[in-house]
Structure formats: structure tokens, C-alpha cells
Amino acid sequence: MGDGAAEGRDEDPRSVDLRPADARSVDPWSAELAAERRHLDRARAALVRMRHEAEATEIAEGDPVADKVTNASLKAARRRRLEALSDPASGAPLFFGRIDYAAGAAAAPGRRVHLGRRHVREAAGDDPLVVDWRTDIARPYYRAHRGDVMGLVARRRFGFDGPELTAFEEEPLVEPSPGPAGASRAGGPAGGDLLAREIARPRSGPMRDIVATIQPEQDEIVRADLEVSVCVQGAPGTGKTAVGLHRAAYLLFAYRERLSRAGVLVVGPNRAFLRYIGAVLPALGEFTVTHRSLAALVDVATARGTDPEPVAEIKGDARMAVVIRRALGATRPGASPPAALITSSLGRWTVSGDEIAGLAAGIQAGGHRHRVARDLLARRIAAAVVRRAEERGHLPADSAVERLARTRSVRAAVDAVWPRTDAAGLIHRLFTDPALLAHAADGVLSAPEQRLLLADRPTSRRAVRWSPADLFCLDEALDLIDGVPAFGHVIVDEAQDLSAMQCRAVGRRCATGSLTVLGDLAQGTTAWAARSWEQALAHFGKPAARLEVLTRGHRVPAEILSFADRLLPSIAPDLPPASSTRAVPGALRVIAAPLDDLAGEAARQVRAGLGRGGSVAVIAPDEAVGGLTASLRAAGLPATALTDDAALTEDAALTVDAEPAGEAVLTGDAEPTEGASLTDKPVPEGRASRPVTVVPASLAKGLEFDHVVLVDPASVAGSGPGSVQGLRRLYVVLTRAVTSLAVIHTGELPSALADQGGPFPRVPRPGGAGRPDPALVRGLEVAPGSA
């Protein structure tokens, strides 16, 4: 055992009474906080030693050539281990909570367990100083309550200012004992304020983890078994994206061996979204998860063209899967194949057409993919020849069948039954050959639909500019011909916007694994958006997936959410309305501005947001982003337009003194009240250094910012393929704010906002129930995608 362990043993807060000997002369809160700080220092020292041990570990490499792959894998594993043991002082706190087990608890009786993002111990065999949040022993931290204490007597949350522990909050789960337990001080107001303040902490740069604030209904989803596929219908601010990412981290911990081979895939709507969420899993110690945008899921081609919307709708329809399968079948001659003359070292042999047809029929009945079926047929033809040679007295070598299957004469016989083809060739021919399309689409697509698919398609394959919708037709064909790689678990976000063909492509990636689907039917903005999760899950190939419904939000202030909920009767009348646990009076401002001062008012609201602290975004109709960005820059604001290729920048520190109002700062002696009204302290011209992100409305989905300025909501509402989709896009945009939302409009607001619910809310309504009955949502259909 190391010296540090011996020195700190008497101060271990897990095993001794933290109260000072003379409680009358020493503030018990200070003593408690000092003991927790000593435990933190001890854990940090232990983590440093763990890293040094990992650095000193020698890799037993094998032969540089023969064992090249194994050597690279060992080096990568060591590198990931060192990354997971990085210095916590430069990142997230080493622990965020503590649970105290009762003396008679079945698990860890009498122990005090500190919980963090990684396991920390002093020496092999020692009790850990910090326990990984994903262990079973940590589960009560997220689930226990007065009605079911799960063996606990108390739960403690910690507040940090950077790496410094500044506060704690004690929550007794049984009758409180005298002394510090049962209340909090030194930056830890009672009543769960540390939890609320952590949720409300200002955003900066990429998305962060929520490991310290996971709610019971979220934890149930996170810890669902690997074999269980889950669909999460989550209203804005309910944390569905974070829940999905934490589920990935949990599964990799609980099923490490299985998933280290099969892998985990996260699919997001675009590259900007993936960059936004990309830091979450590494912060939780997981570095092996594959992230792909929807377009990058198909790697056989790149989308460089576009389709008219009616064409894209047809290509995304599930009926295309039938058409493509028929098209592949049409490449196979219908008549009995000719006899094959097989020439080899064993002599010249004839295999009749009827025999070849019989062999092919047996293979086809097995449902094999096209390329596999071709290889099987070649081997079976070769095996038939080898058997005849043996009957004639030949003694072929053991490898005779494999060698003969690769000969030109056998391959020619296979080509006569199942010709060579590839995905790009098949889809190009399907969309350029009227006869093939008519045959494959007979009774599936109407004549007008077929004409739309054939329009303006280059005859040369090299000249084709594949569209996004084409990619998933290619993927369907690729799976029929060669198959696609599969993962042990797939997580797909913003799934409500996927077409049936896109759902099928995602489902293929977890055909032998499980799936987590994340989305909100009310946020479906494409013409082919899902109308029910029952329908979407069938396309994913997981019709029995468990549906979880989250309506209790922890991010968007209640006042803003109530305003956005006015759209629900128009965009998703059967969905339960969302509610929020956060009250921030003054979070919503609706401002009428003349058209010629729209950019000027936006600049004023941006300065107000910068003065409050946290991230600031301006969301506008796509076509207005360029001009608005230029206007903000001309006003002296560091505005940058977000594109699909751009990453959200890490916010620089403000050069002005700004006090976040309505936020919880886990520092100092002040005790700000949750729900305090927002007050402006605008940043003077020329003094803002923190970037302002100008976001096209079409890219806002899944992102979040402390302060959002929405410009021209009527144009956003009119930007979709139909009025319903446009209003859904507006709903998305309205719910991106974590602290404040300023809505700047010219003329009238969209009627769905103005006509519902009377005056604009100035007092947020309280949060409601967590989850309604999933049966109410699984089979419902939201308004169709047209008006």
C-alpha cells in the first residue's frame, strides 16, 4: 500500500465520524467540508499514481509483422487507459456525490460511497476512494427516495468551482440526526438546489454529460439491459439525447467484453450535431464509440446532388425496398441455365443446366445475400465435379473444391445464373431503365411515381450525382448483395425525421444487436417524418422495442416551454404537453420590431444575453443567416454562422463583469434563489469577446444555448415542406434556450402561437408528471406532413 494511503487512513470520510471532537468550538459544516476536501485530495493523489502505473506498464509485443494487428490493439488499449486516467483538475470534478448505506443494508453495509465518472483506488484490493457511477452499488444515488430508501440513510451532492470543492448538500432519507445532516450551507442551500443549479449551469461549447443530475425516470432507461431495445419519446428539455449517450456509456461498462467486439454506434442527423455531442462519452471515459451522421452511414457513395421533394419522398418510402429486391432478382435469368463445361486438372466435365438450377434453388431458399449465394453456387458446382472425379477413380486433393470453385469455367457457369452486380450499378440501372423499373415496381409504385424516378437521370454511371435519398437505396441494394457491418448496439437521435428507408438502414446496423431510438414526434420537420413510433419501430426492425415517454423537462424554463406548447394542438394534438421543473420568471420576451430594425433589435438582444453570461445564439430562417451574421459583425459582435461542417466553438471568457442572473453559481457565500428574475447588464459595444453563434433554423435541432434570440418566427414557420412541418420547425427553435428566449417578430406572430392560451405567460407553470402511459403514445398518429 502506498504512503499516501497510510497517511490518509485516519481521515477517510468513509470510515470515521466526521464530526469534530469539540462540536461546540468548531463549526460542524466547516469540519464536514474540510473532510470532504481531504478525501478529494487523497483521491486525486491516488488517480495520479494509477496513471503512473499505467504509464509504466510494458506492452508485451509480439512479432512486428505477424502480430502487427495485435500490437496496434494493445497500444490503442493502453492509450485509452491513459486518457481515462487524465488529470481531473483540468476537467470535471473527480466525484459529484456520496451515498451512505445503513449498517444493516444488504449491499455495502455501513459504507459511505463517493461516486464519480471513473473508479479510483489507492492499491489493488483496497476499497475504492471513488466508485464508477455505472456500478450497481451506485444505483440508489439516482433511484432512492423516502418511500424506498434502497438501503441508504443519506445522499450527498457536491458543488464545485472548477476543481475546487466549495459546497455540499445533505439529503437524509430516514429521520435526520442532529448535526449537519439534514440541511446544507456554504453554498449548498437545502431543498435540492445544488441539483437544480447544476442543471441550470451556463453552457459553453459542446454538450456536457449529466451524470450528476440523472433523474430516476432517466436512469431506468440508461440501465436497461443490453438485450432490450428502447424507444424514447422525449419532449424538449427532457434530456433524451444525454440519456442515450449515458446509456451507451453504461452498456460499455456493464457488457464490456461483448461490446468490445461488436461495438457501439451513435447516429446523429448531421455533422454539426455530432460535434456538439462528441465530448460527452470521452468525459465519461469511453473512447471507442463510433459516431456517424446519417449521410455518412452509407459509405459507398457521397451525396452531391438533390432530389425534388416528391422524388425524395418516393425514394424514402418503404415500398422502395420491395422494388430494389425485385430489381436484383430481375438480373437473374428466368430460364434454366445452359449446361456448363468445367475444365480442370481432373479433366473435362459437363454439369447439366437442370443440375445447376437445382443447386441454385437450394441456395436461394436459404435467403443468402447475392455475393454469398454466388460463392456457394461456385463451391457446389465444384463439389459436384469433384464427386464425379472420385467416382471415376481420381484422388483429388483436400483443397480441390476451393481451387476448382475459383476457376474461370466455374465462375462463368455462376455468371449465367447469378450475374455479377454491385449496388451502384443496380440502382443506376433501376433509375435509368424504364423496362427494369416497370418490372420491379409493378403493383408497388404507380405509373406517375415511376416517371418521377426516371426523370433527368444521366445515362453514364460516372456522371451520376447521388442525392441523399439515393444513398439509402444504395444501402438497401448493398445489403442484398454484400451485407453491411453490424454493431452490438446502435443509438439513433432525432429519429422522428427519418424516412422508412433510413430507418431500415439504421436497423440493419443492429440486426443482431439492440437499438436505442431517441426522438420527439412533435419535432418531425421532414415531409416523411414518422407519424407514430409503432410505424417507425417496424421499419427499424424492432417492433417489440420498449417505449419510454419523457414529458418532464429539466432544461427549458417553464415559461418558454408553455409558450412553445401552444403549437402542440396544430403539430401533434395527441402528444401530452411538456412541463418543466425550472421556473425562471422573465425568461421569455416577445418583441415587435419594424422590418428595417430587425437586425438592430437582434443586436440589442444579443448584447443583453452576453451580459448575463453563458452561450448566446441567434436562430433565424436559413436564407437570412448570411445577412444577419454580417449585420451583427458590423455592430461589433463576434458572430459566426453555424454550418453542417462547423463545430460549436468553446466560449472565451467575457471581458466584462457579468453576473449570471437566474442561474446557480456553486461558489462564494451568496445563495442565489432558483427562479430569480433575469436582469439585463448589456455588454457595451466593442467589449464582447465571447462568440455569438448564428444558427440556421434547419440545423437547430438537438442543440441548446443559454440565451437564444429568435428572429422572424413567421418565416421559420413558413420554411417547411408544409405548414405542419414549418410549425414543428418553429417548435424546435423555440425550445433551444436554457435560460432566456427573445422572440423578435415583424407583423403578426404565427396564429398558432398568438391564438392559443391568451396573453403571453409571465409566470411559468410548475412542472408536471414525469411520464404518461406509453400506450397512449406508441400507436398514436400525429398530424400528417402536409396542409
Superfamily of domain 558-778 in CATH is: P-loop containing nucleotide triphosphate hydrolases (3.40.50.300)
Q: Which of 142, 161, 39 is nearest to 93 (CA)?
A: 161
What string of DSSP letters covers 345-414?
TTEEEEE-HHHHHHHHHHHHHTT--HHHHHHHHHHHHHHHHHHHHHHTT----TTHHHHHHTSHHHHHHH
Average pLDDT over residues 19-30: 57
Mean predicted lDDT score pLDDT of the chain: 82
Give the three cell numbers for residue 732: 424546435
Full 3-state SS string of 673-698: CCCCCCCCCCCCCCCCCCCEEEEEHH
Residue type, 775: A
Quickly state the pLDDT bin for 688 (edges 50, 70, 90): very low
The predicted-structure confidence for 642-679, as pLDDT tens digits, reads as follows 987 544 443 322 222 222 232 222 222 223 233 334 54
The ranges assigned to domains in the chain are 3-46+93-191, 309-330+422-464, 340-417, 558-778
Per the model's pLDDT, the better-predicted residue between 506 and 703 turns out to be: 506
pLDDT band at 55 (very low <50, low <70, confident <90, very high): confident
Report residue 523 as a C-alpha cell.
419535432
Interior CA angle at 214 toward 208 and 219, to 5°?
A: 125
Task: Say if residue 594's pLDDT is above 60.
Answer: yes
pLDDT in tens, 181-214: 433 433 332 335 656 666 556 555 567 788 888 9
pTM of the model: 0.80
More confident residue, 92 or 391: 391
Decide if pLDDT at 317 tops 50: yes
User: Where residue 123 falls among pLDDT bands split at 50, 70, 90?
Assistant: confident
Q: Tell me the per-residue pLDDT of 101-117, one tens digit each, with 9 for 90 and over.
A: 999 999 899 999 999 99
Q: What are phi and psi for residue 688, nearest 5 degrees?
A: -90, 125
